[in-house]
Every structure is written in structure tokens, then in C-alpha cells.
Amino acid sequence: SAVDTDPDMWKKRLAGTHLERLERLREIRAADGKPAIDETPLNEWLYWDTLGERDPGFDITVTNQLIASVEYNGADIHTALRGGLLLGTTSYARHGALGAQFWWSVFPFLSADVQIAAMRGGEHYAAEEAALLAGTLAAHELGHLLFRYGHPFNVHACIMSPTPMLRFREAVRLLDAAACRAANDPAMAAGVIDLRRPEGVQ
């Protein structure tokens, strides 16, 4: 139908899904019983994306903070479908040894919240498995940081393909270095993403 092929309609649906699921994420409680999303900027992607401007003293930051927000631009489809929930981001770093830094949230791996578990396909993890999955999939951000790889969407054999929803076990099970190389996706060329400071930013 005309509606199904109308890009503006799909944009509205995606934005609606993002906002609706983010509202549900606002119900989640942190380990201290307080809202995981509150009036502070600590759950906002923009706060974490600019970490490199504040010189945290690290190239890699691991947090147990739930990070889920909505911005005016820059939201990827796979992130919007999760209600703005992110696992990590690699971005420019003013003082970083590699000119970039990344942060990684373990909240989606550790949380027992029903909404997070639903995005994991109903999966629940013991602490050891959560650590293994989180550590394995953090290599995605290392690929951005060290090699400036992009996202080979739907080439699930590649660590650089974003995890659908939060299906962590499936994502790790599908990793296959040989199959990733054979796919020869342009996003897997070193240097394909630019993490230099945007022009005009002081």
C-alpha cells in the first residue's frame, strides 16, 4: 500500500516506537531502588558521547548506568527500536591516545528488569555469563576505536554488526571471523569511519 512505502510514515512510526519504549524504560529502577532514568544527564547519550571532551583519563570506560535517551538527530534505527537504549559509543577524545575513546554499559547484560529481559528474548543470565557476553560484545567498540570499522548491517558473522535488540547469546553464537571476511562488506575496511573532531568545533 501507499502507506507502507511512504518514508515519512516509516519515520513517524520509528519515532513513535522510540518514544513509547523510552517511556517504558523510565519505569526501571536501579540497584539502589531509585529510577534508573532521572532528571540528571547520566542516562543521556549526549552526556556520554562528549566524555572525550572532558578528559576522563581513560580510553575505555565501563559503566553500570542505564543509558537510554532521545536526541534531535543521530539516532540509529537499531537504537530507536530499543527505545533509545545503547550499549556503547566510540567518539572523538581530545586527550585520548588514539584520538578517540569508548564507553560501554553493562546494564543491559546485568538487569533482571522484565523490559530488558524481553528485549533479550526472555533470556536471563548468571553473573559469569553476563560478564562473558558483555566482554565479548565490547569488542565491537574496540573495532571502532582501533581500526575505525563501520557497521556491516545484517552481516551477523561480524562483531561490528550491531546486536539486534538485546539478543546477546544469539549475537555471540553467530560470530564467525572467516564468514565475516568472506562477506567483504565495505564497512569492514579500516578507516571507514572518521572519529576526528568535527570542523568548526573549538
Summarised one tens digit per residue, pLDDT across range 97-112 is: 899 999 999 999 999 9
Model pTM score: 0.85
Q: Is 71 helix (H, G, I), strand (E, B) or coil?
A: coil
100-105 and 88-92: which strand pairing? antiparallel
Residues 22 and 84 sit within 8 Å (Cβ to Cβ): yes
Could you tell me what percent of the chain has a pLDDT over 90?
56
pLDDT at 168: 97
> Cα separation of 188 and 151, whole Å?
7
Half-sphere exposure (CA, 13 Å, Cβ side) for 58? Answer: 10
Residues 68 and 43 sit within 8 Å (Cβ to Cβ): yes
What Cα–Cα distance (Å) separates residue 108 from each residue in 7, 30, 38?
A: 31, 12, 17
48-76 b/e (C-beta count within 10 Å ≥ 16 → b): bbebbeeeeeebbbeeebbbbbeeeeebe
Contacts of 102 (CB under 8 A, 6+ apart): 59, 60, 61, 88, 89, 90, 91, 141, 142, 144, 145
pLDDT at 58: 86
Cell of 173: 553464537
pLDDT at 100: 93
> Cα separation of 85 and 82, whole Å?
5
What Cα–Cα distance (Å) separates residue 149 from each residue in 14, 73, 93, 167, 168?
A: 26, 21, 17, 22, 20
Type of residue found at 114? V
Burial of 24 from C-beta contacts in 10 A (0-12 / 13-18 / 19+): middle
Which stretches of the chain score pLDDT less than 70?
Answer: 1-4, 72-75, 198-202
